[in-house]
Amino acid sequence: MLEQVKYYEDFVVGEGRETTGRTITETDFVVHAGHSGDFFPHHLDVEFCKTLPFGQRIAHGTMVFTIGVGLTATIINPVAFSYGYDRLRFVKPVFIGDTIRSRVEIIAVEPMEKRPGFGRVTERLTVANQQGDTVLVADHIYMVERRP
Q: Under a CB-based contact definition with an 8 Å cutoff, are residues 142 and 82 in contact? A: yes
CA distance 47 to 27: 18
Q: What is the pLDDT of residues 32-91, one digit of tens each?
A: 999 999 999 999 999 999 999 999 999 999 999 999 999 999 999 999 999 999 999 999
116 and 140 in contact (C-beta within 8 Å)?
no
Q: What is the CATH number of the domain that holds 82?
A: 3.10.129.10
Question: By residue range, what is the domain housing residue 141?
Answer: 2-145
Sign of the alpha-carbon torsion through 43, 101, 12, 118: positive
| DSSP string over 69-127 | HHHHTTEE-TTEEEEEEEEEEE-S---TT-EEEEEEEEEEEEE-TTSTTEEEEEEEEEE
- pTM of the predicted protein model: 0.94
Q: Domain tally for the chain?
A: 1
**What confidence score (pLDDT) does residue 100 get?**
98
